Structure 1
Amino acid sequence: MEQFRNIGIIGRLGSAKVLETIRRLKRYLLGRHLNVILEESIAEMLPGHHLQTSSRKLLGEVCDLVIVVGGDGSMLGAARALLKSKVPVLGINRGNLGFLTDIAPSQLEEKIAEVLSGRYTTEQRFLLETEVRRNGVPIGQGDALNDVVLHPGKSTRMIEFELFIDGQFVYSLKADGLIISTPTGSTAYALSAGGPIMHPKLDVIGVVPMYPHTLSSRPIVVSADSEMKIIISSDLTIYPLVSFDGQNHITCTPGDTIHIQRKPHKLTLIHPLDHNYYAVCRDKLGWGSRLGQGED
């Protein structure tokens, strides 16, 4: 008997290739007599599908497995919506990089068959939760699988802020912003800002300044149990933004405080058995392949 009977599908909107892959996936799953449930927005793009539909948030409650068709951005959005349901998530890559969506469309049937037969590995990824407070009163919150980023928005001016970790003052800094990254996000925006690549199994958080005014400001890596507080300078004349995975934003005012910590819920990612993190890095980041031939 199949381990996964009710399978949800989420797809990136506005892509003909995504719709083509979803149609193929749907045919394959129905051919195995499985119950397929489409996320509402993608269902609207597939007239005559005759399948059950669900909101993204409720999809995790009615499914044993959710398959995301798209790029890493699609997976980030799905992860935040599905987190509390604890449903495992599998990605088919129809984007550019594919760090999180690791099944190639050309291998769709082969790899999905492996997963359905129980030949897969699981991986836990943590998220960050953030609360912005104004005069001590919460004015907004957000979750992030990749990163929480403080940045000037459309302004070209630097931001001045103070950073505290576990109640201890770390530094005051004038910079283009600050990236607080999970290991999952260490190969995303944080990497382009000079941050370290952190293996997904590490229980750590990266703190990466963006173009700091002082050359001595370097990325630091702290325990994932750390609680961070950023105080935006009250002398600031711009209204910076806090972004969550680059998809959701909160506008801050001078003097606001930003509180960041790890969420208690974790995302369960499913990978085919041949998934190799370092091979993904070699492929996506252009690392060199092995020298010589016939090595063990």
Structure 2
Amino acid sequence: MLSPSPNSIKKAFSRVALVGKYQADGMQEHLGDLAKLLGQQGCEIFIEASTAAHLSLTAYPTKKIETFAGAIDLAVVLGGDGTMLGIGRQLAGSQVPLVGINMGRLGYMTDIPIQSVQTILPQIIAGEYEADTRTLLAAVVLRNGEEINRSLALNDVVVNRSGISGMVGLAVKVNGSFMYNLRSDGLIISTPTGSTAYALSAGGPILHPRVAGILLAPIAPHSLSNRPIVLPQDIMVSIEVVDGREIIVNFDMQSQTHLQTGDTIQVRQSEKTITLLHPRAHSDYKTLREKLHWNEYPSTF
């Protein structure tokens, strides 16, 4: 019996872009294997331009991320959650879904192990997947009433001190209503996605990705009564720097702005979202069990 030709294979996605953490060992080989696999599914394959340039990949056409919208049906990201955060922010609002493949440790967003990609990725290309929409935060930094920076965050916006300075003083408002003064090492404003990142280590709750809310988690507050709180998704949080030295605001810990006393950071939920695709029968609870070692009880427990 003849094998079906690539063009006759059922596809939910035809134009696929590959994005890789080019610093990782073996990335060139892994991307080559993925491209070959996708070619067997009848896909038109592109390599993200920066990835191709750093790895000297010339066998496939390239596309810049800013041109993906309307030209790419699916972005396959090979790396860890940090790589996915960076790509997710750039593709937010583009309507291009993402698939995350991890090369080592299981990720919250890059949940397909490289060892299983030969089986799982063709299923996703054929339309066998579960879609997961994630919200982002939009932040604006103001100095003397003038905007000095604007950024998106898929995980969190973090206002904190440098490693050698003392506590920071912050005044927090919600929709213009005074909430509290905070003396601490900083404050995390997190999406549900980011609730399993820095906010978790600061004592914040884990939010399911479909929970519509924004999490505020103080970092080592001077007063133990300053506790994490989950706010509605349609609010705006305003954080004014009252005092402190060497204060910065980070966006997903991948970009930052140095702050001065009197600066204000306004954070709200962005209108832009991203869509992550997972294998059928994907379970957020299974991921949490494996990442947080909830499954270490004896089987007879």
Q: Which amino acid aligns with 1:96?
A: R
Secondary structure of the residue that 2:37 maps to in structure 1?
helix
Confirm or deny that 1:284 pairs with 2:296: no
Tell me what 2:273 maps to.
266
Q: Deviations over 1:48-97 (max 9, x none)?
A: 53211011222344100000000000000001111131111110012534
Q: Which amino acid aligns with 1:128?
A: L
> Structure 2 CA distance, aligned partners of 1:164 and 1:46?
46
Query: Unmatched 5+ residue regions in structure 2?
Result: 1-9
Q: TM-score of the superposition, structure 1-length normalised?
A: 0.94
**C-alpha contact (below 8 Å) 2:16/2:72 kept by paired residues:** yes
Among 229, 235, 257, the residue aligned to 2:264: 257
Q: Deviations over 1:120-155 (max 9, x none)?
A: 010110000000111111111111000000011343
**C-alpha contact (below 8 Å) 1:92/1:108 kept by paired residues:** yes
> Structure 2 CA distance, aligned partners of 1:66 and 1:47?
20
Tell me what 2:35 maps to.
26
Q: TM-score of the superposition, structure 2-length normalised?
A: 0.93
Displacement, 1:288? 2.6
Tell me what 1:224 maps to.
233
Query: Unmatched 5+ residue regions in structure 1?
Result: none
**C-alpha contact (below 8 Å) 1:17/1:94 kept by paired residues:** no
Tell me what 1:152 maps to.
161
Q: 1:48 to 1:186 in 2, by over 3 A?
A: closer
Displacement, 1:290? 6.8
Q: Deviations over 1:100-132 (max 9, x none)?
A: 001011110111011011110101100000001
Secondary structure of the residue that 1:63 maps to in structure 2?
coil
Confirm or deny that 1:101 pairs with 2:110: yes
Q: 1:18 to 1:60 in 2, by over 3 A?
A: farther
Secondary structure of the residue that 1:155 maps to in structure 2?
coil
Percent of aligned positions with the same letter in both sequences?
37
Which segment is superposed worse, 41-50 or 200-209? 41-50
> Structure 2 CA distance, aligned partners of 1:30 and 1:207?
45
Among 11, 16, 22, the residue aligned to 1:2: 11
Secondary structure of the residue that 1:80 maps to in structure 2?
helix
> Structure 2 CA distance, aligned partners of 1:83 and 1:146?
13
Among 67, 84, 87, the residue aligned to 1:58: 67
Displacement, 1:45? 4.1
Structure 1 moving runs of 4+ over 3 Å? 45-49, 289-293
Among 46, 67, 73, the residue aligned to 2:76: 67
Confirm or deny that 1:123 pairs with 2:137: no
> Structure 1 CA distance, aligned partners of 2:106 and 2:159?
24
Tell me what 1:143 maps to.
152
Tell me what 1:248 maps to.
255
Secondary structure of the residue that 1:41 maps to in structure 2?
helix
Tell me what 2:213 maps to.
204
Among 166, 169, 172, the residue aligned to 2:178: 169
Confirm or deny that 1:194 pairs with 2:208: no
Displacement, 1:292? 4.5
**C-alpha contact (below 8 Å) 1:155/1:238 kept by paired residues:** no
Tell me what 2:7 maps to.
none
Secondary structure of the residue that 1:14 maps to in structure 2?
coil
> Structure 2 CA distance, aligned partners of 1:11 and 1:281?
25
Displacement, 1:225? 1.0
Displacement, 1:20? 2.8
Aligned length: 292
